Amino acid sequence: MVEILLDATVRAGTPILFATLGAIINERAGIINLGIEGLMLIGALSGFAATLASGSLLLGVFAAFAAAFAAGCIHAFICVQLRGNQIVSGLALTMFGIGVTALFGRGVVGQTIDGFERHAVPLLSQLPLVGKAFFQQDWLIYFSFLLVFKIWFFFYRTRWGLELRTIGENPAAADACGIQVNRYRFLAVACGSGFVGIGGAYLSLASTPMWIENMSAGRGWIAVALVIFASWSSFRALFGAYLFGGITAMQLRFQAMGTSVSAHILQMLPYVFTIIVLVISTLRLQKGASQQPGNLGQP
Amino acid sequence: MNLQFRVEKREQGGPLFRILAIIASILIALFVAGFLLLAAGVDPAAAYLEILREALGSSYGISETLVKTTPLIITGLAVSVAFRMQIWNIGAEGQLYMGACAATWVALFSGVQGSLTLPAMFVAAFIAGGLWASVAGLLRARWQVNEVIVTLLMNYIAILLTDYLIFGPWKNPDGFNFPITAQFSQAARFSEYFDSRLHSGFFLALFCALAIYLLMERTIWGFQVKAIGSNPAAARYAGMKTGLAIFLVLTLSGAIAGIAGFSEVAGLQHRLQHGLAPGYGYTAIIIAWLARRSALGVVIVSFLLGVLLVGGDSLQLSWQLPVAFAYAFQGLILFFLLASDFFINFRLRRITEETDG
């Protein structure tokens, strides 16, 4: 029972994890990206369409990254080069993503593909309780573990990461140090967006191997809230994403067991929990020890 | 020659320049959206002609456009009220649903009858929308919790709550198990005009625009809101209670959006049902952004976007385009508007090698 629930938790949390990691990369460079929801949809559709056309899941993941990367470039161009309003640009990106995927998704509605399959890691998958949930999963989930570590490594152990964090904190100082502020920011937004796209692709290639209009269903917004919960740290993002995966898994479990509580009420839980978590983490943030990039949202 | 540009601040461009920029943004967005339509196998020229013909080509079309314009004006005003204070109410959609639920409760379950019904529905919707938004208002005013995320997530909750009601306790017992409530009695409906679906809600919307204009431009409170929006630190220094103002503005914003829900159920649907507002609350953000601080601007922009929505509906029928395509178009308008802002505020100077060296 616990094993099944844990497994469902990881699977439900992974798309949110990718999206949160992508959003963290954006915000570390000082750019708020409210287009996460739209980027997830763009990733989900292009990943699905590419896999459908080529039969290769790997190609699907690349297509999801590339499409979301391209869409992220629009946001990057407006926010970095044109110094436009980041909130409006992000909302526009979400609207654009919802609309464009609905338009181009018409052709692939109802088609199915063979989604990602599970591959057990030898030995580790035999661990009690956590074995099945963490080491008997598909490649994308293993990739998400790697990414969590990679992003931490990038920000805290490489020169580029340090420079990027400097830009997020104080672009003027970074500029004075001879860092190419605009170039870094642009790349951070575009790459972060690409990872969000992979999160979307997880929905259409692994969770339910098909395309459904508006299939992200607010997960992108949950990711935006989780960035604050995670204090812009990738390890905490992992924790937060699984927390929400867990709530979703339990909610589905309750529905399957046929409780007397309405399914509609149960479906509210992830959103209600997100708001509660957002409040708690905002409060904690103000108690000092803020990890928030100092220059977040400033054009 | 070396093509390099230097960004310079431009002198104030004036309102004419702004209007030109808005029109240009919409035209460029139409142009780019044309390519999207082309890629999806739809002839853009024919599609655009059809939008114009359907929305403006007949008296029926115009009445339908005004029907769509109604909730857009009200929600647009709601978002723009908060916007004056640099507060983002992305939750007009959910507040509209809550207003509709409250109005439905009055109409079907409260026992209020006769000429009191409509006023009571109005008040209930106003309060429900306001209460819904006040959660975000309280969190933002008290603890600086990001109102964008809270108002947005509450949209999902509001829509699920509405679904719960119409699938559960409020379902019409004689409705063949469809997830809809019973129809409202005549006392709970707006009058309709000109043999069309145009209803009193449109005039209610115009009245709201006037009321907001007076409140924001002609009262001290409106001035304070503006002052806090443009410089919170200075406003606080001048003794204004910024926290309270933020709370009140978000609550008022939600209450106005609630009125839109009332207008939709009383004027158009005559019952509560799923898909009550196909994204009016999100379109409202564009309207508020385009109209900036002007209530009259909200009315004009709402009409323009109403044309697009009515035309978009007909495209949905004739080319099976998804309703959500309207979003893609609205996103594009915003992108180009943001880009045009840049050219309004700054000018590019080309730096040639000679002047450079």
**What residues make up the domain containing A120?**
2-286
* Residue B109 backbone zone (phi > 0: left; psi -120 to 50: alpha; other: beta): alpha
The residue among B291, B301, B296, B286 whose CA lies nearest residue B336 is B286
In a domain, A297, yes or no: no
In a domain, A293, yes or no: no
Contact B277, B97 (CB under 8 A): yes
The residue among A230, A250, A171 whose CA lies nearest residue A6 is A250
**Who among B149, B322, B339 is closest to A103 (CB)?**
B322
Residue type, A33: N
Radius of gyration, CA atoms only, chain B: 22
pLDDT at B247 over 90: yes
Average pLDDT of span B18-28: 79
Would the CA dihedral through B228, B232, B234, B235 be positive or negative? positive
Distance from CA of A126 to the nearest CA of B (A): 39
The residue among B150, B174, B170, B173 whose CA lies nearest residue B162 is B170
- Asked if B146 lies within 8 A of A103 by C-beta distance, the reply is no
Average pLDDT of span B23-43: 84
pLDDT at A141 over 90: no
* Average pLDDT of the residues of chain B: 84
Q: What is the pLDDT of residues B193-236, one digit of tens each?
A: 877 788 888 999 999 999 998 988 888 888 888 888 777 778 77
pTM above 0.90, yes or no: no
pLDDT at B356 over 60: no
pLDDT at A25: 87
Interface test with A, best of B6, B32, B148 (most A CBs within 10 A): B148
**Residue A299 or residue A38, greater confidence:** A38
Please report the beta strands in chain A, taking only residues with DSSP state E, as ranges in sequence order.
119-120, 136-137
* Average pLDDT of the residues of chain A: 82
In a domain, A120, yes or no: yes
**Who among B167, B326, B328 is closest to A264 (CB)?**
B167
CA angle A33/A198/A51 to nearest 5° reads: 140
In a domain, A74, yes or no: yes
Whichever domain contains A58, its CATH number is: 1.10.3470
Average pLDDT of span B39-66: 84
Neighbouring CB atoms inside 10 A of B207's CB total: 12
Using a CB cutoff of 8 Å and minimum separation of 24, what contacts does A60-66 make?
A60/A201, A60/A205, A61/A140, A61/A198, A61/A201, A61/A205, A64/A197, A64/A198, A64/A200, A64/A201, A64/A205, A65/A194, A65/A195, A65/A197, A65/A198, A65/A201, A66/A194, A66/A197
Cite the DSSP H helix spans in A203-233.
219-229
pLDDT at B164: 92
- Pairing type for strands A136-137 and A119-120 reads antiparallel
Which residues are within 8 A (CB) of A159 and not within 5 positions of it... i.e. 6 or more apart?
A: none
Neighbouring CB atoms inside 10 A of B83's CB total: 21
CA angle B167/B173/B177 to nearest 5° reads: 50
CA A161 to CA A171: how far, in whole Å? 14
Q: What is the pLDDT of residues B178-205, one digit of tens each?
A: 888 888 888 778 888 877 788 888 999 9
CA A55 to CA A285: how far, in whole Å? 46
Contact B265, B103 (CB under 8 A): yes
Query: Ranked by mean pLDDT, which of A163-167, A211-215, B347-351 comes out on top?
Result: A211-215
pLDDT at B353 over 50: no
Contact B159, B106 (CB under 8 A): no
Taking CB atoms and an 8 Å cutoff, what residues of chain A touch B282?
91, 95
**Residue B325 or residue B246, greater confidence:** B246
Distance from CA of A297 to the nearest CA of B (A): 13
For the ranges A155-164, A180-189, B344-353, the lowest mean pLDDT is seen at B344-353
pLDDT at A84: 81
The pLDDT confidence band at residue B78, using thresholds 50, 70 and 90, is: very high
Instruction: Tell me the percentage of chain B whose pLDDT exceeds 70.
Output: 92
The pLDDT confidence band at residue B347, using thresholds 50, 70 and 90, is: low
For the ranges A19-33, A128-142, A263-277, the lowest mean pLDDT is seen at A128-142
Average pLDDT of span A56-69: 88
pLDDT at A146 over 90: no
CA angle B316/B317/B321 to nearest 5° reads: 25
- Asked if B144 lies within 8 A of A286 by C-beta distance, the reply is yes
In a domain, A244, yes or no: yes
Residue type, A28: R
In a domain, A266, yes or no: yes
pLDDT at A244: 86
With tokens 């054009």, the residue in question is A299
Residue type, A221: W
pLDDT at A122: 73
pLDDT at B351 over 70: no
- Asked if A224 lies within 8 A of B139 by C-beta distance, the reply is no
In a domain, A192, yes or no: yes
CA A8 to CA B22: how far, in whole Å? 48
pLDDT at B350: 58
pLDDT at B13: 54
- Asked if B90 lies within 8 A of A82 by C-beta distance, the reply is no
Q: What is the pLDDT of residues B86-109, one digit of tens each?
A: 888 999 999 999 999 999 999 888
Token pair for residue B351?
């730096």
The pLDDT confidence band at residue B27, using thresholds 50, 70 and 90, is: confident
Q: What is the pLDDT of residues A88-108, one digit of tens each?
A: 889 899 989 998 888 888 777
The pLDDT confidence band at residue A36, using thresholds 50, 70 and 90, is: very high
**3-class DSSP state of A137:** strand
Q: What's the helix, strand, coil split of chain B in %, to 5?
A: 75, 5, 25
pLDDT at A11: 83
Which residues are within 8 A (CB) of B275 and not within 5 positions of it... i.e. 6 or more apart?
A: none
Length of chain B: 357
Average pLDDT of span B319-324: 78
Distance from CA of B92 to the nearest CA of A (A): 14
The pLDDT confidence band at residue B71, using thresholds 50, 70 and 90, is: very high
* Total domains present in chain A: 1
**3-class DSSP state of B349:** strand
Q: What are phi and psi of B346, to 5 degrees?
A: -130, 160
CA A118 to CA A141: how far, in whole Å? 10
CA A19 to CA B30: how far, in whole Å? 31
Interface confidence (ipTM) of the complex: 0.83
Closest alpha carbon within chain A to B153: A271
Using a CB cutoff of 8 Å and minimum separation of 24, what contacts does B318-324 make?
B318/B50, B319/B42, B319/B47, B320/A106, B321/A103, B321/B40, B321/B42, B322/A99, B322/A102, B322/A103, B322/A105, B322/A106, B322/A213, B323/A102, B323/B278, B324/A98, B324/A99, B324/A102, B324/A103, B324/A213, B324/A214, B324/B279
Token pair for residue A248?
């979703």
pLDDT at B354: 43
Taking CB atoms and an 8 Å cutoff, what residues of chain B touch A228?
146
pLDDT at A171 over 80: no
CA B302 to CA B308: how far, in whole Å? 10
Q: What is the pLDDT of residues B115-140, one digit of tens each?
A: 888 999 999 999 999 999 999 999 99
- Asked if B154 lies within 8 A of A274 by C-beta distance, the reply is no
In a domain, A294, yes or no: no
pLDDT at A28: 83
The pLDDT confidence band at residue B355, using thresholds 50, 70 and 90, is: very low
Closest alpha carbon within chain A to B144: A282
Average pLDDT of span B140-155: 89
Q: What is the pLDDT of residues B261-299, one digit of tens each?
A: 999 999 888 889 887 888 888 889 888 988 877 888 899
Taking CB atoms and an 8 Å cutoff, what residues of chain A touch B338?
78, 82, 84-85, 88-89, 92
Contact B249, B113 (CB under 8 A): no
Q: What's the helix, strand, coil split of chain A in %, to 5?
A: 75, 0, 25
Neighbouring CB atoms inside 10 A of B5's CB total: 10
Token pair for residue A156?
């805290």
B273 DSSP assignment: B
CA A267 to CA A281: how far, in whole Å? 23
Cα–Cα distances in Å, from A258 out to A251, A254, A262, B162? Answer: 11, 6, 9, 21
**Residue A127 or residue A266, greater confidence:** A266
Neighbouring CB atoms inside 10 A of A103's CB total: 24
**Residue A133 or residue B250, greater confidence:** B250
**Residue B345 or residue B322, greater confidence:** B322
